[in-house]
Amino acid sequence: MRLPYYPGCTLYTKAKPLNETIRSCFNIVGVELDELPHWYCCGTTFTLARDNRMSLIAPLRILTKAQQEGKQVLVPCSICYNTLKRANFIFSEDREALDIINEHLEEKYDGKEEVIHPLEFIRDNQDMIRNKLKKPLSGLKVGCYYGCLLLRPAEEMKFDDPESPSIFEDFVRLLGGEPVEFALKVECCGSYLVVNTPDAAVNASYKVIKNARENGADALVTTCPLCFYNLDALQTKIRQQYPDFKDMPIFYFSQLLALALGVDENGLQLGQNRVSPEIVLKKYGLL
């Protein structure tokens, strides 16, 4: 089985572990990822100004590339996924917008490509994973942090319930881990506010991690490279501002998947996680 794949900018730079573990996991379960040729930036973030069609050009060019490769395109980064899916929603609802942009481009987009996230692919192909499980994550208590962009706006993303989703918990259960419920799993981590008002992101990430800790989580798992940065890299700043704070390791969902599929320690790429997950993983005999 082959699947077109759009990594996006950050998966080649700061989120290499996400890119590499996704690739090795899909390889193990027998899905070959065809990276789109000559891809560009997805045009993040999705513009909310309805009178701006310029910003739809970048997503449209990617979707055009994708439609030449196959009916679905796999996008692991939450922000790219959100941008492409929302643009795609406009192209399917507003034919006029699509026609106007198509008119200016050499390659035309038909508006029919489906943007899918690896968590959706796994939900629909659970046996593929189950048959290859080597090391179930027994005992590991994981808080599934959805963040914002996978879920909202619900009527366009159609990913899961925006207030009480469960697809991520089902994923952790599939790997043999114990998902931990916590209220702030759908709350914002501070997103791009980290660039010019880091205090807002420090405060938001502190609340998320604290809430997960209070509900018994050993670690948090996320899909988004920006959530990962805010939750992981900002912990140094969080500690300075909130003396009661206790560290918590953060994983990309694909790192846990790779672990359960028996990828070796090198392949897990845990070295880039600033809060070391070693103690937690050793506690459950997973490393």
**In 70-156, beta strands by DSSP E:** 72-74, 114-116, 141-144
Site for another protein in 157-186 (CB under 8 A): 162-163, 186
| Cα–Cα distance, 45 to 80 (Å, whole number) | 8
Q: Which residue, among 20, 8, 52, 78, has the nearest Cα to 272 in the 3D structure?
A: 20
* Nearer residue to another protein within complex by CB, 43 or 111: 43
Site for another protein in 217-246 (CB under 8 A): 225-226, 228-229, 233
- Mark 117-156 with x for binding to another protein (rule: CB under 8 A) and - for no binding: -------------------------------x---xxx--
Measured from the Cβ of residue 158, the count of other Cβ atoms closer than 10 Å reads 11
- Mark 187-206 with x for binding to another protein (rule: CB under 8 A) and - for no binding: xx-xxxxxxxx-xx--xx--
Contact flag: residue 60 with another protein (CB under 8 A): no
| Cα–Cα distance, 14 to 73 (Å, whole number) | 22
| Cα–Cα distance, 217 to 172 (Å, whole number) | 13
Provide DSSP, 146-170: -TTTTTSSHHHH-SS-SSS--HHHH
- On whether the CB atoms of residues 267 and 20 are closer than 8 A, the answer is yes
Q: Which residue, among 69, 66, 68, 50, has the nearest Cα to 58 in the 3D structure?
A: 66
Contact flag: residue 70 with another protein (CB under 8 A): no
In the complex, least distance from residue 136 CB atom to another protein, rounded to whole angstroms = 31
Contact flag: residue 258 with another protein (CB under 8 A): no
Contact flag: residue 51 with another protein (CB under 8 A): yes
In the complex, least distance from residue 198 CB atom to another protein, rounded to whole angstroms = 8
In the complex, least distance from residue 51 CB atom to another protein, rounded to whole angstroms = 5
- On whether the CB atoms of residues 135 and 260 are closer than 8 A, the answer is yes
> Of the candidates 34, 47, 102, 166, which one interacts with another protein according to CB under 8 A?
47
- On whether the CB atoms of residues 258 and 24 are closer than 8 A, the answer is yes
Contact flag: residue 41 with another protein (CB under 8 A): yes
* Nearer residue to another protein within complex by CB, 27 or 164: 164
Please report, as ranges, the residues that interact with another protein according to CB under 8 A: 8-10, 13-15, 41, 44-45, 47-52, 55, 77, 79-80, 148, 152-154, 162-163, 186-188, 190-197, 199-200, 203-204, 207, 225-226, 228-229, 233
